[in-house]
Structure 1
Amino acid sequence: VLESMHGTIYCLTGRHVNKNLSAFVIFLFLLIAPAAYTQTNNPKGLKKPDITTRIWLGSHVLPGYGQVYNRDYWKIPIFYAGMGTMAYQGYQMNSDYKKWQKTYLALPTSDPDREKFKIKATEYRQNRNLYYAAATAFYLASVSDAVLVYNRGKHSPAAASILSTLVPGMGQAYNGAYWKIPIIYGGLSTFYFIIDWNNRGYNRFRTALFNLIDGDPATVDEFNGTRTQEELRYYMDNYRRNRDLSALGFAVVYALNIIDANVDGHLYDWNVDDNLTFRVEPAVFNPSQNLTYNTPAFGVSCRVTF
């Protein structure tokens, strides 16, 4: 039995089914596609889909698409200039890196200048990576800007999911849950460190194993032949397995970051007012409509006030 009066719902329970939103359903939905549709009312009272995902995909395929849709035409030259300049500088650094690396590899190991070429090649490689990272940052900024501007004045779960997909923690910042950002980056950083540490161990034992199998006196075995092939292969496989498991953990934290942003986006406008209460108490009722014959009935009253 349901009765609504002045914002209060009374429920008499014999059998009451409580429908909860499952996080697993949200996870499956997120795997199929980002939360692409939120609903807004138009003047005719009809429902129309939110096109946040269309803007997101369009901006990925053609940077500037979102700015055209939002009519922020003046931003397009800025993003393209940033991406073009950084990509060109990265290309130049990559060309110089290949030249220095080629010279370094061509020099004999006894050449005293060989280490200088290696250092120089490493510097060009690092600069190349920084320029490419800057070009990627301009690209992601153009996509994020398109999504944020389109959803200005409203809160979109799709936008939160997309932002956390582009930059982990950005969706949490969009939802106002800033305290979660250090947790996300702490998890990602931890798994990244474990991946790197195990990968270095894997490469170390793999190199030693190859040198031992090769049997070339010119090759250097850091263990000086004290470990057998079986031992080297055992440690190499362990490091590789731990590296792969850590990579899986990194992916899980990254996925949870997106799911959390999506769920928080849906619950952003959830009513958490102090007037929202849920009370369960015993009650006595009289189901008979005959005023001359009153038989009491015992039950449970559930009251939700909002």
Structure 2
Amino acid sequence: MSKYLVSLALYFLVITFGLAQEEENNTQASDSITTSLKKEGITVVDTLKVKKRAINPLAPSKAAFYSAVFPGLGQIYNKRYWKVPIVYAIIGGGIYGYIYNDDLYDRFRTAFKRRQAGFTDDEFYDLGTPNAPGADPDFSEAALESAQERYQEDRDLWLLVTIGMYALNIVDANVDSHLKQFNVDDDLSMDFKPYLDMDAITAKPVYGMALTIKF
């Protein structure tokens, strides 16, 4: 389960880095094409029209705060409703694993203490026929001690997993809110126009192309 938590964390980091790298590569490629065309004597007219979006710099912080107060609330704030059941499933699973192992730890620990005190009436002494006279214990003292230690370790592991899933829920809300503000509209159009003019000084034709993208 701890490997699963690390994989999820790396998944978000890879996505974030990949989107940032893709944006940087696209910008560098665009600048490189513009420079090459200018060297060939082609004038590049920038007619890119962008529908500006209102960016809320506090949105990521709000999303993270909401998810910290109540898991899944930040995802609702980001309108990523499909993530809410996933958040509840992973955090709820962690809580269930903790409670389950804690209950078994308490039961084995109680039986171990009573066995050390000389009692033979614990639930693990004779599972097949309880209170049968002369029956050998199904769980020895060593087995009871080993079981309580194992369930204690599992309980502590599930506690760490639950805390990790809770933290990941906050990180996801924050990162998703950052990326959400860079999304473009579905209404995307592109127009290509050739460009031709005369240079007033050199009297030479100046030609090029214009690419108009509206979104």
2:66 to 151, 154, 163: 163
Instruction: Show the counterpart of 2:111.
Output: 208
2:122 to 221, 227, 244: 221
Instruction: Show the counterpart of 1:262.
Output: 174
Q: For residues 243-299 of structure 1, what are the alpha-carbon distances to aligned partners after superposition, in whole Å with 9 as ceiling and x for unaligned?
A: 11111111111111101110111122213335399xxxxxxxxxxxxxxxxxxxxxx
Instruction: Show the counterpart of 1:16.
Output: none
Deviation at 1:242, TM superposition (A): 1.0
1:7 to 27, 33, 48: 48
Task: Tell me: CA distance 1:243–1:264, structure 2 relative to 1, closer, same or farther (3 Å).
Answer: same
| TM-score (structure 2 length as normaliser) | 0.56
Task: Tell me: CA distance 1:166–1:212, structure 2 relative to 1, closer, same or farther (3 Å).
Answer: same
Deviation at 1:7, TM superposition (A): 2.2
Amino acid of the residue matched to residue 158 of structure 1?
A: S
2:102 aligned with 1:199, yes or no? yes
Amino acid of the residue matched to residue 171 of structure 1?
A: G
SS in 2 for 1:227: coil
Task: Tell me: CA distance 1:223–1:271, structure 2 relative to 1, closer, same or farther (3 Å).
Answer: closer
RMSD over aligned CA atoms reads 2.7
Q: For residues 225-255 of structure 1, what are the alpha-carbon distances to aligned partners after superposition, in whole Å with 9 as ceiling and x for unaligned?
A: 4322211111111111111111111111111
Point out which structure has higher relative CO (alpha carbons under 8 A, 6+ apart). 2
Structure 2 residues not aligned, in runs of 5+:
1-31, 35-44, 50-54, 126-136, 191-210
Identity percentage over the alignment? 37
Structure 1 residues not aligned, in runs of 5+:
9-38, 41-49, 51-154, 278-302
SS in 2 for 1:177: coil
Amino acid of the residue matched to residue 5 of structure 1?
A: D
SS in 2 for 1:267: helix
Structure 1 stretches (4+) deviating beyond 3 angstroms?
273-277
Instruction: Show the counterpart of 2:183.
Output: 271
Q: For residues 70-108 of structure 1, what are the alpha-carbon distances to aligned partners after superposition, in whole Å with 9 as ceiling and x for unaligned?
A: xxxxxxxxxxxxxxxxxxxxxxxxxxxxxxxxxxxxxxx
Deviation at 1:162, TM superposition (A): 0.5
Task: Tell me: CA distance 1:167–1:209, structure 2 relative to 1, closer, same or farther (3 Å).
Answer: same
Hey, what's the Cα distance between the residues in 2 that align with 1:163 and 1:237? 37
SS in 2 for 1:7: coil
Hey, what's the Cα distance between the residues in 2 that align with 1:271 and 1:174? 16
